[in-house]
Chains A and B, each alone.
Chain A
């Protein structure tokens, strides 16, 4: 109780606000929140919404880096706000903006449709030429076969990589880091037979070849997925595939 009577340390958050239908462009509103060393940016936003301004809109769910909903730009860097501690930004102020490169619906809420559509296009699920009946049991896999793709399966669809990608910012049609990493993940899966179905999406002009390997997607990824590596390896696989089809037109391709 004595602590509360002492002068409380505070921090300022400069938060982007955008009211559809009212504002022509987003503006910034400053809020002062109490500083707690165990608070993350998301806690500060929840404090603002509960105590200061209930109209502030943003997405969040799990608070533990799993759901991938609370991605925002924190001081210009794409972050999961549930994992961005206030103590790492002292003394502030902290700039909180909606994820870059995405259309803004309201305040810190961005439109997900584009990413969802791209995700669907790369068919991120196990495809079999012929499904075996359930009574035949599971599709078995060795630990080594699991290791081949495991890293790329850690993606939580938080879209931080799209916010970090200047190529996506300049060319919104680019399939983009997470979708390509997931396509690559299923292509590497020993149980999958869908390579030929994903290849047209990956090999089009706005697929892997649009990437210029800036590499920032892998830097900001909170799950260590390394989408940049997935894209470059897909380029290598695609180019090898093409070369084999030229040398052996009768069936060199996968």
Chain B
């Protein structure tokens, strides 16, 4: 897609080492955020298999849930939850930066945009919890 850069003789062209993301905390946090998607993707596959087991009868479903009770899977889910929370929090923090909301001539302050996203997230979470835990 992109044309390779023509290197002029005499100049020194630095190469970014594969470990560039260990150079500062921001780069590292960025890499963690990128990595979070891997855990979330694996979780979704596990969840899809769980849904797939549902129509196969109570026995198959219970057996699958039993598999997920193994310590390895529990550790995975705790890590995946931590990554999902990290991804969500950083995402909502960025909404204020990315989305410019104007009321008339004035711009809504970024913290308020991010704050409303967090508030909406909290409300949806409470409604879901109520729905899941009521019975």
Please indicate whether A and B come from the same complex rather than being unrelated chains.
yes
**A residues apposed to B, CB below 8 Å:** 18, 20-21, 23, 25-26, 76-77, 100-105, 111, 114, 144, 147, 166, 169-173, 205-206, 212-216, 219, 226, 228-229, 232-233, 236
B42-82 interface mask toward A, CB cutoff 8 Å, 1 = contact, 0 = none? 00000000000000000000000000000000000000000
Query: Could you tell me the dominant secondary structure of chain A's interface residues?
Result: loop
Q: Which residue of B lies closest to A172 (CB)?
A: B5
Return the contact of B11 from the options A111, A169, A232 (Cβ within 8 A): A111
Query: Distance (Å) between the CB of A68 and the closest chain B CB?
Result: 21
B130 contacts the other chain (Cβ, under 8 Å)? no
B2 touches A166 (CB 8 A): no
Return the contact of B97 from the options A18, A26, A144, A232 (Cβ within 8 A): A232
Contacts of B7 in A (CB 8 A): 103
Across the A-B interface, give the 6 residue pairs with the lowest CB-CB distance, nearest first. A169-B16, A173-B2, A103-B11, A20-B10, A104-B12, A232-B98
B27 touches A216 (CB 8 A): yes
A100 touches B98 (CB 8 A): no
**B residues apposed to A, CB below 8 Å:** 1-3, 5, 7-8, 10-14, 16, 20-21, 23-24, 26-27, 30, 34, 94, 97-100, 105, 107
Expressed in whole angstroms, the Cα–Cα distance for A18 and B16 within the complex equals: 18
13 CB-based A-B contacts, threshold 8 Å:
A20-B10, A25-B12, A26-B12, A77-B24, A103-B8, A111-B8, A111-B11, A166-B27, A172-B5, A212-B30, A213-B30, A213-B94, A232-B94
B98 touches A215 (CB 8 A): no
Query: Could you tell me the dominant secondary structure of chain B's interface residues?
Result: loop
A216 touches B24 (CB 8 A): yes
Known A-B contacts A169-B20, A172-B5, A173-B5; A216 and B26 likewise in contact (beta carbons under 8 Å): yes
Expressed in whole angstroms, the Cα–Cα distance for A232 and B97 within the complex equals: 8
Q: For chains A and B in complex, what number of residue pairs have CB atoms within 8 angstroms? A: 72
Contacts of B99 in A (CB 8 A): 236
Known A-B contacts A166-B20, A215-B26; A229 and B98 likewise in contact (beta carbons under 8 Å): yes
B30 touches A214 (CB 8 A): yes
Query: Distance (Å) between the CB of A133 and the closest chain B CB?
Result: 31
Known A-B contacts A25-B12, A111-B11; A144 and B100 likewise in contact (beta carbons under 8 Å): no
A104 touches B14 (CB 8 A): yes
Query: Distance (Å) between the CB of A97 and the closest chain B CB?
Result: 9
Expressed in whole angstroms, the Cα–Cα distance for A206 and B3 within the complex equals: 11
A166 touches B12 (CB 8 A): no
Expressed in whole angstroms, the Cα–Cα distance for A21 and B98 within the complex equals: 46
Expressed in whole angstroms, the Cα–Cα distance for A228 and B14 within the complex equals: 24
Expressed in whole angstroms, the Cα–Cα distance for A40 and B26 within the complex equals: 26
Query: In this complex, which of A23, A76, A215, A226 has the most chain B Cβ atoms within 10 angstroms of its Cβ?
Result: A215
A104 touches B20 (CB 8 A): no
Contacts of B97 in A (CB 8 A): 226, 228-229, 232
Contacts of A228 in B (CB 8 A): 97
Query: Distance (Å) between the CB of B14 and the closest chain A CB?
Result: 7
Known A-B contacts A20-B11, A25-B12, A232-B94; A215 and B30 likewise in contact (beta carbons under 8 Å): yes
A205 touches B12 (CB 8 A): no
Contacts of A25 in B (CB 8 A): 12
Query: Distance (Å) between the CB of B131 and the closest chain A CB?
Result: 32
Contacts of B24 in A (CB 8 A): 76-77, 216
Query: Distance (Å) between the CB of B86 and the closest chain A CB?
Result: 15
A233 touches B100 (CB 8 A): yes
Q: Which residue of A lies closest to B30 (CB)?
A: A214
Contacts of A100 in B (CB 8 A): 14
Query: Distance (Å) between the CB of A231 and the closest chain B CB?
Result: 9
Query: Distance (Å) between the CB of A123 and the closest chain B CB?
Result: 21
